[in-house]
Amino acid sequence: MENLALIESFSEFKDDKLIDRVTLMSILEDVFRNALKKKFGDDDNFDIIINPDKGDLEIWRNRIVVSDDKVENDNQEISLTDAQKIEPDFEVGEDVSEEVKLFDLGRRSILALRQNLIAKIQEHDNTNIYKQFKDLEGEIYNAEVHHIRHRAVILLDDDGNELILPKDKQIPSDFFRKGENVRGIIETVELKGNKPNIVMSRTAPAFLEKLFEQEIPEVFDGLITIKNVVRIPGEKAKVAVDSYDDRIDPVGACVGMKGSRIHGIVRELGNENIDVINYTNNLQLYITRALSPARVTSVKIDEDTKRVEVILKPEEVSKAIGRGGHNIRLAGRLTGYEIDVFREGVEEDVELSEFSDEIEKWIIEEFSKVGLDTAKSILEQDLKDLVKRTDLEEETIEDVLRILKEEFED
């Protein structure tokens, strides 16, 4: 009766976790063998017969009959006297099979057995979840906001699986409410202990690429190829696209009439500004396109240093640099070259790094972040505009302007 009750409780796990019969039998046998090892020291001489569908469980211990004074291992051997209590005809050297009842294991062993079973099934369940989501890495996934924490949002999918959307994987403008559906890509899946740790991202370039695949049929069908994607999440992105069919305009197909196709993607990304450009193997042309909407006058490429000098008309410089230096920074990441901007008609200029004895390094780096690498590129800017574009105090910028003016006055 106890065997039947225990097996019935095991069947509950099978129904809850949808474990197939073969797997359940394997887990059950493993759990019972561990219990037998703890009780008898060894399990090699035990036969375990399980039928979880019917609720049948039998454990048989096999021992060799030895003379009464020759018993050295109680688990492997049985004395002739004890064997003949089971069956009077037994003789020395014969094998004896004796059924072991669950209550023979003791109450504590049965409780431990049940806890071990729960742990084993949970481990099996976690391994399946890990494998399922590992195959989904890099794919878009939907989940519902379950709990909002300071450093992360905890999400649950339709099957109750937990996903984590860390703060640094959220777009700055993201604002979530409990019960709201969230889209992102499965970025990483790891086993921490026995529990799968599933991290979702909305800031990865791959998320934007997958959105293009979902929203633009030509990309999904492979008629248009996405060559590269770079992003400053929530601010600006650049996507280089190409097509092997000359009849298809890849940029036009991605953007759509009056931006109709890309509008949904922009909205999903918190109104992130997306530039779609035609990819080309012509590096000079590629760099020129990457700096759009600015119009470039000329490009000088240094392959050894991976630097590019770009000449533009003065009125095009601010477009090339972009708000907060986003445009020039993304153009550099898209092409793999560091881009230096120069104004057309300006012959004499000085690299800002040459003032390192008078201007602190971190201040020079702040200007460089927004594409201002030379003295004249800073002097030609309005003070208020420099304050807006950098994280520097007005007084600090005024000191820099004074130092640079003195250089040219000299």
CATH number for 154: 2.40.50.140
If asked whether residues 269 and 168 sit together in one domain, one would say: no
Token pair in block for residue 41: 């020291």
Closest CA to 96 of 114, 110, 112, 84: 84
Flag whether 116 is in a domain: yes
Flag whether 51 is in a domain: yes
Measured at the CA of 174, the angle between CA 170 and CA 179, to 5 degrees, comes to 100
If asked whether residues 177 and 121 sit together in one domain, one would say: no
Flag whether 362 is in a domain: no
If asked whether residues 191 and 242 sit together in one domain, one would say: no
If asked whether residues 147 and 211 sit together in one domain, one would say: no
Flag whether 360 is in a domain: no
H-run or E-run covering 119: helix 107-134
Select the more confidently predicted residue: 346 or 51.
Answer: 51
**Rounded Cα–Cα distance for residues 400 and 233 (Å):** 31
Amino acid 231: pLDDT: 96
If asked whether residues 250 and 228 sit together in one domain, one would say: yes
Closest CA to 367 of 335, 340, 345, 343: 340
Amino acid 103: pLDDT: 67
pLDDT in tens, 4-14: 455 555 555 55
Provide the domain limits for residue 231. 204-279
Flag whether 216 is in a domain: yes
Flag whether 145 is in a domain: yes
**Rounded Cα–Cα distance for residues 386 and 380 (Å):** 10
State the CATH number of the domain containing residue 246. Answer: 3.30.300.20
Q: How do beta strands 140-148 and 152-156 pair?
A: antiparallel
Query: Residue 151 gets which letter from DSSP?
Result: S
**Rounded Cα–Cα distance for residues 231 and 305 (Å):** 24
pLDDT in tens, 375-391: 888 888 888 888 888 88
Full strand arrangement of the beta sheet holding 236-243: 224-232, 236-243, 273-278
Q: Which long-range contacts (CB under 8 A, 24 or more apart) does 192-196 make?
A: 194/122, 194/123, 194/126, 195/126, 196/126, 196/129, 196/130, 196/133
If asked whether residues 182 and 213 sit together in one domain, one would say: no
If asked whether residues 146 and 239 sit together in one domain, one would say: no
If asked whether residues 121 and 7 sit together in one domain, one would say: yes
If asked whether residues 124 and 30 sit together in one domain, one would say: yes
User: What are phi and psi for residue 371, nearest 5 degrees?
Assistant: 85, 15
Of the candidates 236, 256, 279, which is a domain's last residue?
279
How many domains are there within the chain? 3
**Rounded Cα–Cα distance for residues 162 and 173 (Å):** 23
Closest CA to 224 of 259, 257, 248, 206: 248
Coil/strand/helix, residue 247:
coil
Amino acid 220: pLDDT: 93
**Rounded Cα–Cα distance for residues 84 and 68 (Å):** 11
Flag whether 354 is in a domain: no
Amino acid letter, 150: H
Of the candidates 155, 175, 201, which is a domain's last residue?
201
Q: Which of 43-57, 171-185, 308-322, 394-408 is predicted least confidently? A: 43-57
Amino acid 151: pLDDT: 92
What pTM was estimated for this model as a whole?
0.65
Give the chain's end-to-end CA distance (angstroms, integer). Answer: 103
Amino acid 223: pLDDT: 94
**Rounded Cα–Cα distance for residues 274 and 231 (Å):** 9
One DSSP character per residue, 322-367 reads -GGGHHHHHHHHHHTSEEEEEETT-----BGGGGTTTS-HHHHHHH
Token pair in block for residue 57: 């469980």
Select the more confidently predicted residue: 203 or 350.
Answer: 203
Flag whether 102 is in a domain: yes
Place of tokens 């051997």: 77
If asked whether residues 124 and 27 sit together in one domain, one would say: yes
State the CATH number of the domain containing residue 110. Answer: 3.30.1480
pLDDT in tens, 81-92: 888 888 888 888
Of the candidates 147, 167, 201, which is a domain's last residue?
201
Q: Which of 26-35, 90-99, 218-227, 298-307 is predicted least confidently? A: 26-35
Token pair in block for residue 180: 């709201």
Amino acid 290: pLDDT: 95
Closest CA to 288 of 315, 309, 262: 309
If asked whether residues 157 and 252 sit together in one domain, one would say: no
107 neighbors 6 (Cβ within 8 angstroms): no
If asked whether residues 151 and 218 sit together in one domain, one would say: no
Amino acid 68: pLDDT: 84
Place of tokens 């004890």: 82
Place of tokens 């109104």: 271
151 neighbors 167 (Cβ within 8 angstroms): yes
Highest mean pLDDT: which range of 60-69, 71-80, 283-292, 303-312 = 283-292
pLDDT in tens, 261-271: 999 999 999 99
Q: Rounded to 5, what percent of the chain is helix, strand, coil?
A: 45, 25, 30
Coil/strand/helix, residue 8:
helix
